[in-house]
Amino acid sequence: MRVVLPMAGTRGDVQPAVALGLELQSRGHEVVLGVPPNLVDFATRAGVDARQFGPDVQQLYSSERGQKALAAGSTFKLMPMVAKQMAEYADRMDSELIAVTEGADVLVSTQMTEDRCQSIAEANDIPMVTLHTFPSRRNATYPFPGSVDHSKKTPAFVNKTTWLVAENIRRVVFGRYVNRLRKRLGLPTTYKSVEGVLAGLGVPEIQIYDKHLVPGLADEWGTARPFAGFLPLSREAREAVGELADAHDDVVAWADSGPPPIYFGFGSMPIRDAQAISAIVADVCAKVGQRALISAGWSDLAQTDAQTPSHVKVVGAVAHDIVLPHCAAAVHHGGIGTTFESLRAGLPTLICSVSFDQPFWGAQVARLGLGAHLPFPKLAAASLEEKLGVLLDEETGARARLFADKLKPSDDAVARVADAIEARSTR
């Protein structure tokens, strides 16, 4: 069976597909990934056949315009920028998608590619599965991410309304691009929402995040949208891409040389003034008597390592499962992968959200009593000190440690998703 997974976005969006692709390959299937140009090498080194598909979002975020939009911390300021990039790339993206899906027996999409993939699946009469990394469908339990203040509980009818509005905006904004693709494929024009089309076709919508992060949602959705859990990349694949070239012995040794440090991970969101943030972290941690381990991510902070005080260490990207168990708490942007890893390690977590689904996860962490949420534009010495107080509270720590036990069973998530794809392909 030839399984094609067209992915878009950042590494956090692509990595679960790489993990899934490797599992499918181990079962004897032919796997092809469509990924942005900056991630082709990553997927290939991990061991999966990868072809270029879609624009380089990392390059967009790292641009001057992208930095300003990220600093504003508003999804509504980021969306026009991303939409413009997608509009400029639309025809090329369609061509790349047609090429990468040639000969596919089954398509696996995400919420960012499912509209285009549905047209490809329809044109070629092949089955499809879609993966969601955050709540992406109408429900009464939670509002659409970024639509309202997630720190406050909203009535069911408000939650449903936010989804209805968001889905219609998506239909109107992206519908013309979908219909341009459909015209190329010889398909009729459609004005339906992708949610309605996929539901009508019975396309499995697998949630690749943990149900315990969204209490009530699994009960509301039932078997229609099953929860598989986060899809971790295997140790072998991480070694292949060079992430485990060493066991982080120096980082672990530093962490164990004193009280467990607080981990600060800037993740896949480039920081406009990384050195200023580093200075705030160093000052606040000194004030509250904590050590800080700063993982630079995309931000070029490594050069400041020699200038940092003894209670601070700046490093590059780290293997979360190796390093986080040696830390006392975690502070990061709230990407679902990092959120999963910090909570699985039993760490009280502060999410400094920028946009898209990050504010939602920040609100969930706070609502579940596992930490706190601080929108990144509000990050300052006083606000960080206040939120660290929540993380260092003994009750928060105890809840985080108990919650970690709920996340551990999701280690077989990759196999469960592969099972669902195989089952879909036989129908």
Residue 58's pLDDT band (cuts 50, 70, 90): low
What is the reported pLDDT for 376?
86
What is the reported pLDDT for 358?
87
Residue 144: helix, strand or coil by DSSP? coil
Amino acid present at 56: D
Does residue 61 register a pLDDT over 70?
A: no
Residue 281: helix, strand or coil by DSSP? helix
What is the reported pLDDT for 59?
65
Q: Where are the beta strands (DSSP E) in 266-303?
A: 292-295
Percentage above 70 pLDDT, the chain:
87
The DSSP string of 309-336 is -TTEEEES---HHHHGGG-SEEEE---H
User: Which is more confident, 232 or 99?
Assistant: 99
Nearest CA-CA partner of 347 in 324, 368, 366: 324
Percentage above 90 pLDDT, the chain:
62
What is the reported pLDDT for 418?
97
Q: Are strands 329-332 and 349-351 parallel, antiparallel or unpaired?
A: parallel
The encoded tokens of residue 68 equal 């300003």
Task: Write down the H helix ranges in 47-141.
Answer: 57-62, 64-72, 75-100, 114-124
User: Which is more confident, 118 or 412?
Assistant: 118
Q: What is the mean pLDDT of residues 115-142?
A: 95
Does residue 78 register a pLDDT over 80?
A: no
Residue pair 151/361 in contact by the 8 Å Cβ criterion: no
Distances (CA, A) of 326 to 252, 267, 277, 304, 400: 7, 19, 23, 23, 15
| d(C-alpha 364, C-alpha 362), whole Å | 5
| d(C-alpha 286, C-alpha 310), whole Å | 10
Q: Distance from first CA to last CA of the chain, Å, rounded?
A: 13
Residue pair 421/108 in contact by the 8 Å Cβ criterion: yes
Q: Which range has the top average pLDDT, 103-107, 159-163, 174-178?
A: 103-107
What is the reported pLDDT for 221?
94
Does residue 48 register a pLDDT over 70?
A: yes
Counting DSSP H helices and E strands in the chain, the numbers are: 18, 12
Does residue 192 register a pLDDT over 70?
A: yes
User: Which is more confident, 72 or 171?
Assistant: 171
Residue pair 178/190 in contact by the 8 Å Cβ criterion: yes
Q: What is the mean pLDDT of residues 331-360?
A: 91
> What is the rounded average pLDDT for all residues in the chain?
88
Residue 39: helix, strand or coil by DSSP? helix
Specify the pTM. Answer: 0.90
| d(C-alpha 143, C-alpha 89), whole Å | 30
Q: Which domains does the chain have, with CATH numbers?
A: 2-235+410-425 (3.40.50.2000), 247-409 (3.40.50.2000)
**Long-range contacts formed by 143-151: CB under 8 A, 24+ apart:** 145/75, 145/356, 145/357, 145/359, 145/360, 146/75, 146/76, 146/355, 146/356, 146/357, 146/359, 146/360, 150/359, 150/360, 150/362, 150/363, 150/364, 150/373, 151/363, 151/366, 151/367, 151/373
What is the reported pLDDT for 348?
98
Q: What is the mean pLDDT of residues 87-92?
A: 82
User: Which is more confident, 82 or 107?
Assistant: 107
Does residue 300 register a pLDDT over 90?
A: no
Residue 304's pLDDT band (cuts 50, 70, 90): very low
